[in-house]
Structure 1
Amino acid sequence: MLDSYPDLLRGLILSVLAGMSTMLGIIPVLLVHKKLGEKVIDALLGMAAGIMLAASAFSLTMPALEIGGPLKFIAGFLLGAVVVDLFDKFSPHEHFLKGHEGLQLRRLSKMWLFVIAITIHNFPEGMAVGISAFTKEAYNIALAIGMQNVPEGAATFIALVDAGYSYKLAGLITLLTGAVEVLGGFFGASMIYISKALLPYMLALAAGAMVFVVSDEVIPETHLRGNERLSTYSLLFGFLVMSILDVILG
């Protein structure tokens, strides 16, 4: 295991950097928040979705297939989607527009329901960073997740403020979204550190989880307010940017 320690450390560091990039999205929002609205939120989330899809396809799916072959990829990919689906169905959580999903627990405040929703969404992203630290795609994935966290952090902050939360509390919840990714990164890196045989399965699992989140959570959320075309072109833009960066970074 000692020879894998540098990769473990790299996974932890990259997870922190990628996760905390959510806070970068708050900076421009604080300067021009009054000028931003629903279209901006949907465009930002659409761009984040495109980046996630490109990262899943090129930096997670391709290495998983190369390392483990199609059978291991299929098993891990489907498992990742099913695990997120089960958490989504049975854990109580609240979306900004879709409202409540999962079990009904009246004792939980709306803020904590938002936090649970963010955890379901962001944990797989952080896990992808930690897992990929053991591959040549480490920096590509960290960059992709970090990049998509900036518009996602901005959109989360704007939505919370528009929902009536104070700037301080909205900033704290946005920070928690990044902290969730750090935890996911620690988990992913630790799993591969314990057994490298899990690498193709975990890469595929992270890809399946992220694609499920994009399709089930992010895209529907951006298509509820009449901004479908804008969010779709934003998704295409995010996908193009990440695809080009993936080639440039090798």
Structure 2
Amino acid sequence: MGDWIVGLSPVMQAFIFTLFTWGATALGASFVFFTRTVNQKVFDGMLAFAGGVMIAASFWSLLSPGIEMAEQQGVPGYIPAVVGFLLGGFFLLLVDRILPHLNEDLYFKDIKDKKAKHRTAMLVFSITMHNIPEGLAIGVAFGAVAADFSTSTLAGAIALAIGIGIQNIPEGTAVSVPLRGDGMSKGKSFFYGQLSGVVEPISAVVGALAVIYIQPLLPYALSFAAGAMIFVVAKEIIPGSQEKGNVQIASISLMIGFSVMMVLDVALG
């Protein structure tokens, strides 16, 4: 691991590695320059793989360290784990209910079909919103290293960023290719696809700063990020990967994604 990485502040580390995850989103969005459609089986497999990565990251990179940190602070580990986990899910539930929809006529004026506009707007909105807890999770993980808990390592935080970056690739594709299919230009389809990842560096910086200055909340913050990620997997990713009938492919891909992230986290962490 480069000394230059070790020498950076946790906030800057989180920012740099979420630039990587943003770049992975842009990579996925760039597929729009080569194809107007993606094979449904391949796409569902990629989406489910991303879900498996998120599930594994939620436990090994977030919940498990959070439980051990709470115990080091003299608090029963299950308390912040349960409270933070449920709050993370409820937070995204509230986000789904109270935030206004995107202005479809403003942002997607290149698409004439009203139904296509609504479907595309909701897709962009959904993926952008669930990138927020991913960014927070990375920020919290790097902030935990600065808090000097024995359960947190820089390698583990980097493993989380790599895992989230891997699962961001199909997310970028999930935005840009449907936009292109609905008639938007390649350039604009790519722009909106990569734009969904912009929130990750911003939320990562917020997460890192929060846990550095409010260390007693760190176990809750880790669990909160885990709960938000699991909510996204349960609500968006698993149903979305199986709605076209590719249940077996999606199920196996999810298990492979889980295994890849588990290896990354255990080997590096």
Question: Structure 1 length normalisation: TM-score?
Answer: 0.85
What pairs up with 1:67-78 in 2 under 5 angstroms? 67-68=69-70, 69-78=77-86
The farther-off stretch of 33-42 and 46-55 is 33-42
- Assess, with a 3 A threshold, how the Cα gap between structure 1 residues 34 and 174 changes in structure 2: closer, same or farther: closer
Q: Give the deviation of 1:164 after TM superposition.
A: 2.8
SS of residue matched to 1:133 = helix
- The equivalent of 2:110 in structure 1 is none
1:116 aligns with 2:125: yes
Counterparts of 1:175 and 1:84 in 2: how far apart (Å)?
A: 22
1:191 aligns with 2:210: yes
1:10 aligns with 2:7: no
**CA-based RMSD:** 2.3
Instruction: Indicate if the aligned counterparts of 1:50 and 1:238 stay in contact, CA closer than 8 A.
Output: yes
Q: Give the deviation of 1:165 after TM superposition.
A: 2.4
The farther-off stretch of 230-239 and 14-23 is 14-23
- The equivalent of 1:85 in structure 2 is 93
Q: Give the deviation of 1:112 after TM superposition.
A: 4.9
Q: Give the deviation of 1:35 after TM superposition.
A: 6.8
Q: Give the deviation of 1:113 after TM superposition.
A: 4.3
Counterparts of 2:32 and 2:217 in 1: how far apart (Å)?
A: 40
Deviations 1:172-214 (A, max 9, x none): 1111111021222122112113312221111000000000100
Q: Give the deviation of 1:52 after TM superposition.
A: 0.7
Counterparts of 2:140 and 2:181 in 1: how far apart (Å)?
A: 35
SS of residue matched to 2:196 = helix
1:132 aligns with 2:141: yes
- The equivalent of 1:205 in structure 2 is 224
Counterparts of 1:35 and 1:224 in 2: how far apart (Å)?
A: 17
Counterparts of 2:121 and 2:244 in 1: how far apart (Å)?
A: 24
- Runs of 4+ aligned residues of structure 1 deviating over 6 Å after TM superposition are none
Counterparts of 1:80 and 1:27 in 2: how far apart (Å)?
A: 31
Counterparts of 2:129 and 2:137 in 1: how far apart (Å)?
A: 14
Structure 1 residue runs without a partner (length 5+): 95-105
Counterparts of 1:126 and 1:46 in 2: how far apart (Å)?
A: 20
Counterparts of 1:30 and 1:236 in 2: how far apart (Å)?
A: 30
Counterparts of 2:230 and 2:139 in 1: how far apart (Å)?
A: 17
In percent, how many aligned pairs have the same letter?
38
- The equivalent of 2:41 in structure 1 is 39
- Assess, with a 3 A threshold, how the Cα gap between structure 1 residues 163 and 28 changes in structure 2: closer, same or farther: closer
Specify the code of the residue in structure 2 equivalent to 1:154.
T
Specify the code of the residue in structure 1 equivalent to 2:12.
L
- The equivalent of 1:239 in structure 2 is 258
SS of residue matched to 1:36 = coil
Structure 2 residue runs without a partner (length 5+): 1-7, 71-76, 103-113, 146-152
Specify the code of the residue in structure 1 equivalent to 2:44.
D
Specify the code of the residue in structure 2 equivalent to 1:178.
G
> How many equivalent residue pairs?
233
SS of residue matched to 1:139 = helix
- The equivalent of 2:5 in structure 1 is none
Counterparts of 1:214 and 1:248 in 2: how far apart (Å)?
A: 24
- The equivalent of 2:67 in structure 1 is 65
Picking from 14, 24, 28, the partner of 2:27 is 24
Q: Give the deviation of 1:29 after TM superposition.
A: 5.2
